[in-house]
Structure 1
Amino acid sequence: MGNLDKDTQARVNQWLSDEYDAETVKNVQDLIDQEQETELLDSFYKELEFGTGGLRGIMGVGSNRMNKYTIGKATQGLANYLKKEFPKEEIKVAVSYDSRNNSQSFGHLVADVFSANGFQVYLFEELRPTPMLSFAVRHFGCQGGVMLTASHNPKEYNGYKAYWNDGGQLVAPHDKNVITEVNAITSVKDIKFDRNEKNIHMVGADFDQLYIDANLKLSLHPKAVKAQKDLKIVYSPIHGTGITIVPKMLEAWGFTNVTVVDEQSKPDGNFPTVVYPNPEEEEAMSMAMQKGQEIDADVVMATDPDADRVGVAVKLPSGEFQLINGNQIGSLLTYYVLSSKKELGQLKDNQYIVKTIVTSNLFADIAKSFDVKCYETLTGFKFIGEVMTKLLGKETYLVGGEESYGFLVGDLVRDKDAVNSCAFIAEMAAYFKEEGKSLYDVLMKLYLEYGYYKEKLISLTKKGKAGADEIKQMMADLRANLPKTLGGIEVVEVRDYQHSESTDMQSGKKSKIDLPKSDVLQFITKDGDVISARPSGTEPKIKFYCSVKDQLEFTSEFGQVSNRLDDKVRLMMDDIVKD
């Protein structure tokens, strides 16, 4: 193993010591004996770090893998930090887990460590969605919480989302401070693994009703639901936690005609019917769409394994079903909430919505037309939650979302909530059906009124240490050679969130960006197009986002305008995406 650097070799040697159990030591030794140098490097070249979604990685042995010791170390570090931040309080934490392989055992491991540290632990008896964990943190008055999930990642992954006392994921300074505490743990002996049973309180199915009842109070048009109670809804949990609560929520809302995709209804961490359990992917939505076609559904929905993201397919005038993207779902929800609030006389001066910097500006256009403020945050719903917490008691949050299929209506939680979103999407479909419109009709209405926004996302996967280095170099090259044109269109502004500054490309004038630092570059063209480059905080990927806009005069021109924008997007992306 002569090519391993000194720090990596030191980590390997540590994991061969008697601090670790015999099975772990054997697994490390097997990698050495089999001369699996690349696997050793990827497994040990660093410690897992908190990104935009917390701790996430491939399950296996090593400091850069999800396993008993990395999870135990993260939990002990979080526990040490909570003790420092709340020295005079009895500390309470909530713990939940999704359907992934090992999620339940990891969840109990986390509960063990917290209980051994003297914390009162509210542990879900069975798998439940991420938003319910956020709700539990707030409901039980906890100082923190942990959700075991890798969201929509492939089956080899698991993850650890850490939450603060507001029910939101860790943000600055807590995220970095927890890492400091985690890194301060140099020995497995510093981790308290011995479960203290009397400190663990099981959260049962009766908690579901508390969450359902709280959401039901947010309903905007119960009369429309009552009139359209037999609305044909197809729902798939894609082998995840959504099955435990989404059908119950829709039933409580008043919908009586919900068809669950049977082949994907059972929680299963191997996700046997899909390549990726991600509702952003057409392949993952295909069974639900097929079922929608069979029964002539009004709306088709599917949630990811921890039920914080939702994908939607709508019926076209032809009767065929078509997936809509996260920007379109969020725009529909934003319009529905704001137009309904206006209709009901509930719009006030101190209300707001939130979007991320890579989410469609259609959100902001809709908000502006209703005289509602739109705040912008960095990518990651934890930053939307942070805005909600900062403005609590001063301004009122209505709705928010991000292009990656995460949305939230109302402020019951501080994270994206696909269960809440499913209920509102169904209610929205019922309300507009009462008016004789489909969701597709409403989307066309938005494009006619605000302009046709079209977006594209390209993700390049770069695995392991070599991949991480390559992504870092790609961003460095972009900064060193800022494009003057994209697709033949002049770039007039560059926003560098890493350096917190925006540059006018014509005058050279720089202005401050008032957001936390983040490794994101945005290029704004003279046409108002927005192209963004951003390494993912949760996956070994670099992502390129493109958003363009054109006027749509008549729905009959939709295909023509769409093709024109496709060509524009392709030319721009060809100029910036170098694989």
Structure 2
Amino acid sequence: MHIEQSILDKVNEWLTPTFDNKTQESIKEMMTSSPKDLEESFYKNLEFGTGGMRGIMGVGTNRINKYTLGKNTQGLSDYLKKSFPNENLKVVIAYDCRHNSDTLAKVVADVFSANGIKVYLFSEMRPTPELSFALKYLNCHAGIVLTASHNPPEYNGYKVYWQDGGQLVPPQDAEIIQVIENLKYSEIKFDSDENLIEYIDLAVDEAFAVSTVENASFNTSAEARKNLKICYTSLHGTSIKMVPKVLEKAGYSDVNIVPEQAIPDGNFPTVVSPNPEEPEALTMALALADKINADIVFGTDPDSDRLGVAVRNDEGKMILLNGNQTMVVMTHFLLEQWQKSGKIDGKQFIGSTIVSTPMMLELASAYDVECKVGLTGFKWIAKFIKDFPELKFIGGGEESFGYMVGDAVRDKDAVGAILLMCEIAAQAKEKGNSVYNYLQQMYVDFGFYKEHLISLTKKGIEGANLIKQMMIDLRENPLSEINGQRVVCVEDYQSSEGKDFMNNITFDLTVPKSDVLIYYLEDGSKICARPSGTEPKIKFYFSINTEINSVEEIKSAETLLNSKIENIIAEMQLN
């Protein structure tokens, strides 16, 4: 097959003595046996997306390896020295259960230390939210976590956190990327200064656990906590290090762990995907829950920032909640608690994203707090906390199964969110109620919202081009009517421009540019198209709603809204 010269130039660079013999041998093997893999490995450089940098592990510029991560770390070291002159620089590093995460974390630590930067390195895998907490707790300048979140086993990744405990945001992200791009691989300092690397573990665990219990506990009685029967799975990931410890510290003693999934394993052998967004991932937990008659089920992704939740409905059957449902339940409960404590005075806010349920706006309005809505990714919610110090952050989430309670952690945090959901479930059970009933009453009070997600996977160079073309077509041939409903407004976050067709006006979008397109229909429906920033996917988000007057109307309303979603999907030819 023909390979472009620009790709061959990169390949030839990787065949120089800057790169070790094993790397060079792997490249030579691909050149003869798999030129397609060679092209995929070198056709571009790995990029930072919504959740840092993720990629398949292997050799090449488009792969996760010691050289791509070494270059990132060298660039970050240079940027830190420039940003904080004459300061004793400190960073903290954590990693998850994935293959090579521990060795890659040590490579990153080596490069930082070789640049004279003090490194705190977790001695074993730890949850991503603990890294965010540790960064502030240890008063560091930056933090790194080696994780590919819920991606398949062949992936790994590199997330960068800043002084506030949140992920990189503008302008630092673009500035650091520029420094990295300008570096040569030969400039990476790999020779560590072991005197600058300090291993951390139990002391930080204890501080994180104490902080989590303080932030996510709300006057639940000891008896109610004891009586809640919990079923939990870590899906072979890092949450096993902290979730049982935190629940025990908070007083939840009836915690039943799925034993087959409790052992950390980067192959994730018992699931197709270690993603709690996928119903299949919680199959074993649901089976155990039915066996022991558990009240609530939790599952977390490998780095413990996302959580899946299942609760019992009125018929006693376990049902999975989606990310929007868990988000509004937790937010509503937090708002109730803050109001009861007299802590709401108009100087508080909750956070959400442009692709999440508009029900968050209804909750904010009902409790007289602000709802700040940003781009996809928790780094934007963390940025709101930093940008608006005069406002107190209550909680916030996104549809992709992430939630953050308070501001001790500045990223989505399944550890704190699980404890919060336990508080909600325990208090409801004590009153003879349930999380399911709590959500149903919210639909009566704030409107019945139904969300749906379609995720289309398009791998490789061809897939990337296909996704690009789909977005071009949506922009150049905009839909004016969908399912018999006029499009009343379109927001294009790439051009930072919105168009209100009912009033014939154009308006500016104030959030940073992003490849996202949102259609609003005259019946209040919302359709969003967005290429993923971390996976080879394009995602379509649907949100529709209707008013209901009683819980008894939910079933018929759901049938109506499901039918609407199916019609929209068929008309947009996404089936």
Alignment match, 2:149: 151
Match of 2:178 among 180, 198, 204: 180
**Equivalent residue of 2:524, what SS?**
coil
Alignment match, 1:128: 126
Alignment match, 2:4: 5
Alignment of 1:486-497 (within 5 A): 486-497=482-493
Moved more, 3-12 or 296-305: 3-12
Deviations 1:534-563 (A, max 9, x none): 011011111000000012233233222111
Asked if the contact 1:220/1:340 (under 8 Å) is kept, the reply is: no
Moved more, 168-177 or 329-338: 168-177
- Shift >4 Å, 4+ stretches: none
**Equivalent residue of 1:229, what SS?**
helix
C-alpha separation in 2, matches of 1:573 and 1:372:
34
Alignment match, 2:218: 221
- The 1:302/1:80 distance shift into structure 2, 3 A limit, reads same
- AA aligned to 1:40 is L
C-alpha separation in 2, matches of 1:268 and 1:545:
32
C-alpha separation in 2, matches of 1:97 and 1:110:
11
Asked if the contact 2:351/2:373 (under 8 Å) is kept, the reply is: yes
1:44 and 2:60 aligned: no
Alignment match, 2:474: 478
- AA aligned to 2:495 is H
Alignment of 1:369-380 (within 5 A): 369-380=366-377
Asked if the contact 1:236/1:288 (under 8 Å) is kept, the reply is: yes
Deviations 1:226-285 (A, max 9, x none): 433231001100000000000000011110100011010000000000010000111101
Shift of residue 224, structure 1, vs aligned partner: 2.9
Alignment match, 1:350: 347
Alignment of 1:205-354 (within 5 A): 205-354=202-351
**For structure 1, which runs of at least 5 residues remain unmatched after alignment?**
none
**For structure 2, which runs of at least 5 residues remain unmatched after alignment?**
none
C-alpha separation in 1, matches of 2:225 and 2:252:
8
Shift of residue 389, structure 1, vs aligned partner: 1.1
- AA aligned to 1:553 is N
Alignment match, 1:528: 524
- AA aligned to 1:304 is D
Asked if the contact 2:91/2:143 (under 8 Å) is kept, the reply is: yes
Deviations 1:495-535 (A, max 9, x none): 00111111012443100111101110000000111100001
What is the TM-score when the length of structure 2 is the normalising length? 0.98
Asked if the contact 1:529/1:549 (under 8 Å) is kept, the reply is: yes
**Equivalent residue of 1:84, what SS?**
helix
1:366 and 2:363 aligned: yes
Deviations 1:309-344 (A, max 9, x none): 000001011111010000000000001100111122
1:553 and 2:553 aligned: no
Moved more, 321-330 or 36-45: 36-45
Shift of residue 390, structure 1, vs aligned partner: 1.1
1:88 and 2:86 aligned: yes
- AA aligned to 2:14 is W
Alignment match, 2:566: 570
C-alpha separation in 2, matches of 1:573 and 1:177:
40
Deviations 1:147-176 (A, max 9, x none): 000001111110000111111111111111
Alignment match, 2:513: 517
Asked if the contact 1:309/1:407 (under 8 Å) is kept, the reply is: yes
C-alpha separation in 2, matches of 1:478 and 1:335:
35
C-alpha separation in 2, matches of 1:415 and 1:399:
11
- The 1:140/1:473 distance shift into structure 2, 3 A limit, reads same
Alignment of 1:374-413 (within 5 A): 374-392=371-389, 394-413=390-409
- The 1:219/1:461 distance shift into structure 2, 3 A limit, reads closer
C-alpha separation in 2, matches of 1:225 and 1:502:
51
- The 1:209/1:226 distance shift into structure 2, 3 A limit, reads farther
Asked if the contact 1:531/1:545 (under 8 Å) is kept, the reply is: yes
Alignment match, 2:461: 465
C-alpha separation in 1, matches of 2:217 and 2:422:
12
Alignment of 1:111-126 (within 5 A): 111-126=109-124
Deviations 1:398-433 (A, max 9, x none): 000000011011110111100010110111111112
Alignment match, 1:192: 189
**Equivalent residue of 2:55, what SS?**
strand
- The alignment-based identity, stated in percent, is 47
Alignment match, 2:436: 440
Moved more, 225-234 or 285-294: 225-234
- AA aligned to 1:22 is N
- AA aligned to 1:197 is E
Alignment match, 1:65: 63
Asked if the contact 1:96/1:148 (under 8 Å) is kept, the reply is: yes
Shift of residue 206, structure 1, vs aligned partner: 2.2
C-alpha separation in 1, matches of 2:363 and 2:136:
31
C-alpha separation in 2, matches of 1:219 and 1:204:
22
Alignment of 1:166-177 (within 5 A): 166-177=164-175
Asked if the contact 1:544/1:577 (under 8 Å) is kept, the reply is: no
Alignment match, 1:431: 427
Asked if the contact 1:225/1:431 (under 8 Å) is kept, the reply is: no
Shift of residue 301, structure 1, vs aligned partner: 0.5
**Equivalent residue of 1:408, what SS?**
strand
C-alpha separation in 1, matches of 2:556 and 2:52:
43
Asked if the contact 1:487/1:573 (under 8 Å) is kept, the reply is: no
1:539 and 2:538 aligned: no
Alignment match, 1:508: 504
**Equivalent residue of 1:469, what SS?**
helix
C-alpha separation in 1, matches of 2:574 and 2:313:
35
The number of aligned residues is 575
C-alpha separation in 2, matches of 1:220 and 1:413:
15
Alignment match, 1:55: 53
C-alpha separation in 2, matches of 1:51 and 1:380:
9
Asked if the contact 2:216/2:417 (under 8 Å) is kept, the reply is: no
**Equivalent residue of 1:376, what SS?**
strand
- AA aligned to 2:455 is S
C-alpha separation in 2, matches of 1:230 and 1:209:
25
Moved more, 364-373 or 338-347: 338-347
Asked if the contact 1:98/1:148 (under 8 Å) is kept, the reply is: yes
Shift of residue 10, structure 1, vs aligned partner: 0.7
C-alpha separation in 2, matches of 1:201 and 1:242:
23
- AA aligned to 2:513 is K
What is the TM-score when the length of structure 1 is the normalising length? 0.98
